[in-house]
Structures are given as C-alpha cells and as structure tokens.
C-alpha cells in the first residue's frame, strides 16, 4: 500500500472565460472535493497571481483537505492550467479529469499519476 496518491494534470487551451472566473474556480474546487469524497479543511485560498508577467498571470488556488491538498494555477493568456491532487486517501483519477474537463474545457489533458512512499 502506498502512503499517498498524486495526480498531476497539465491542461492546454482551456476556456479563457472559465479559467478567469474566480467563481467558476471556487465551484470547481467544491464539486471536486465532494465528488472524490474528500473533506475540505477550511475554505480554499484563491488569488490572482503573477500580474507583473502577462505570460504567467492567472488564478492560483490551494484547498487543504484532511488527507493533504489540491492545488492549481491557471494562465490567463493562453488558457493553460495545471492541477495537482495529492492525498493519502485513494480517489478516482478518471473522475478528477472529467470534472476538470467539464469546468474548464481544455483542448488536451496530459496527466501523470504516481503512488508515493518514503
């Protein structure tokens, strides 16, 4: 048995309207936590970062969960986004990808999944 499960999504050309919406990002976080049966620890941190560099500017988030965290960054300029789900509790990887696809509509998702242990 592994100590933790880490999914990394690299998503290309999502809907710029969707990735620039703090409300949509917060809704995504809430639905994701619920659907993969995690327990949120407090509210997510969501902020617009890197405004000094238009190639990198966009929303970032971190949602602590009782079994670790879910984080991400969205790039305003091109719609690319990156999401990590790390948890010591197993979860449905395909469901995470489906939810990301539904909320942000990327043209392509490249993903990696690793089981972590010391």
Count how many domains the chain has: 1
Give residue 5's pLDDT: 98
105: domain CATH number?
A: 3.60.90.10
Give residue 93's pLDDT: 98
Q: How far apart are CA 27 and CA 113, in angstroms?
A: 24
Residue 1 has pLDDT above 80, yes or no: no
Count Cα neighbours of 54 within 13 Å in the Cβ-side half-sphere: 1
Task: Find the domain containing 107 and state its range.
Answer: 4-116
Supply φ then ψ for residue 32, to 5 degrees.
-60, -50
Give residue 118's pLDDT: 85
Give residue 32's pLDDT: 98
Give residue 82's pLDDT: 98
Give residue 2's pLDDT: 81
Count Cα neighbours of 18 within 13 Å in the Cβ-side half-sphere: 15
Look at the block and give the residue holding tokens 């990301």. Answer: 100
In this predicted model, what pLDDT tens digit does every residue of 59-106 receive, in sequence order?
999 999 999 999 999 999 999 999 999 999 999 999 999 999 999 999
Instruction: Give the residue with greater pLDDT, 118 vs 24.
Output: 24
Q: What is the DSSP letter of 88?
A: S
């Amino acid at each position: 048995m592994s100590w933790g499960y880490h999914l990394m999504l690299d998503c290309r050309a999502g809907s710029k309207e969707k990735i620039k919406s703090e409300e949509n990002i917060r809704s995504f976080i809430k639905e994701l936590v619920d659907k993969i049966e995690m327990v949120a620890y407090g509210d997510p941190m969501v902020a617009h970062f890197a405004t000094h560099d238009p190639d990198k500017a966009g929303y970032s988030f971190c949602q602590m969960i009782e079994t670790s965290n879910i984080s991400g960054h969205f790039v305003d300029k091109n719609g690319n986004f990156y999401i990590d789900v790390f948890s010591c509790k197993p979860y449905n990887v395909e469901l995470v990808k489906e939810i990301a696809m539904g909320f942000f509509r990327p043209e392509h998702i490249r993903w990696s999944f690793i089981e972590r242990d010391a």
